[in-house]
Amino acid sequence: MELTLNVMKRWLVTADEKMQNHKEYLSELDQAIGDGDHGHNMARGFQAAVENVKENTEEDIGSLIKAAAMTLISKVGGASGPLYGTAFLKASDEWKGKDSLSQDEFTKGLEAAVEGIKTRGKAESGGKTMLDVWTPVLEYIQHHDIAASDLSAKAKESMQQTENMKAEKGRASYYGEESISHTDPGAYSSYLLFEALAEALDKEEA
């Protein structure tokens, strides 16, 4: 299957809807093992990114995602801003000039994104962060047909597994053992992001 410019736009728009709808919940998760701003950060950032998309006349996916990246970088703030921003920015580099992506091309972008998060955050998966959703989702996509797959179930399951992890990075790490039995907020917002992708693809199919 091909991921068109339209699918990518719908991805962002759907992600924004989800961030707005889960704003309070994400901040609540962050309140427990962080500082309670994650939902506000994500909602602020995606709203701005989507406003940008709507005005955007760029006709290639690279430019679209780069514009989103720059907006996320400048509007999210906190730890998640540079991380999501870097992820989108690295992916956009791979998608430069394309108006549609094969699964392979899409995966390349995702690989760059995960690499970007790891470098920016000086983190590995297993540390109870958004990486614990991005890494398994990437692996899944590397081995499954994205259109036919159950992407959002995979993302959800990975997100849920962060509950049992001990935080190693970011604010949650100050909670040490106490961070266990809480879901990581960044993992939750990443789950929402991939759920949005699955829905954007679904719509395309229909």
Partner 1 sequence: MKKFINNPEDVVEEMLEGMAAAHSDELRRLPGWNVLVRKDAPLPGKVGLVSGGGSGHEPAHAGYIGENMLDAAVAGEVFTSPAPDQIFEAIKAVDSGSGVLLIVKNFSGDVMNFDMAAEMAAAEGIETAQVVVKDDIAVERKEDRRGTAGTVLVHKIVGTALEEGLNLQEAVELAHHVTSRLGSMGISLSPSTVPASGKPGFTLADDEMELGTGIHGEPGMERKKIQPADAVAEELLDNVTAELDVKNGDDVIVLVNGQGSTPLMELYIVYRKAAQLLFERNISIHKSMVGEYMSSLEMAGCSLTLLKLDDTLKKYVT
Residue 85 found at the interface with ligand ADP (CB under 6 A): no
Helix ranges (H only) for 144-206 are 151-161, 185-205
Query: In sequence order, what are the residues at sequence separation of 6 or more whose Cβ sits closer than 8 angstroms to the Cβ of residue 116?
Result: 86, 87, 89, 90, 91
- For residue 130, the partner it binds in partner 1, ligand ADP, Mg ion, none, with Cβ less than 5 to 8 A by kind, is ligand ADP
Q: Under the criterion CB under 8 A, does residue 77 sit at the interface with partner 1?
A: yes
* DSSP run (H or E) holding 102: strand 100-102
The reply on whether position 124 binds partner 1 by CB under 8 A is: no
Give how many residues touch ligand ADP by CB under 6 A. Answer: 24
14 to 43: interface string for Mg ion, x by CB under 5 A: ----------------x---xx-xx-----
82 is a site residue for partner 1 (CB under 8 A)? yes
Beta carbon nearer to partner 1, 62 or 170: 170
Residue 94 as a binder of ligand ADP (CB under 6 A): the answer is: no
Q: Which long-range contacts (CB under 8 A, 24 or more apart) does 84-91 make?
A: 84/42, 84/45, 84/130, 86/113, 86/116, 86/117, 86/119, 86/120, 87/113, 87/114, 87/116, 87/117, 87/134, 88/113, 89/116, 90/115, 90/116, 91/65, 91/116
What the block records as the tokens of 114 is 């995960």
Q: Which 85-114 positions form the footprint of partner 1 (CB under 8 A)?
A: 85-86
Q: Which two tokens stand for residue 133?
A: 């959703």
Question: Is residue 125 involved in binding partner 1 (CB under 8 A)?
Answer: no
* Binding-residue pattern over the window 143 to 182 for ligand ADP, x denoting contact by CB under 6 A: --------------------------xxxx----------
Q: What is the dihedral sign for C-alpha 126, 131, 136, 139?
A: negative
Tell whether residue 80 is a contact of ligand ADP (CB under 6 A): yes
Query: Could you list the residues that contact ligand ADP (CB under 6 A)?
Result: 30, 34-35, 37-38, 41, 78-80, 83, 117, 121, 123, 129-131, 169-172, 184-187
Query: Could you list the residues that contact Mg ion (CB under 5 A)?
Result: 30, 34-35, 37-38, 78
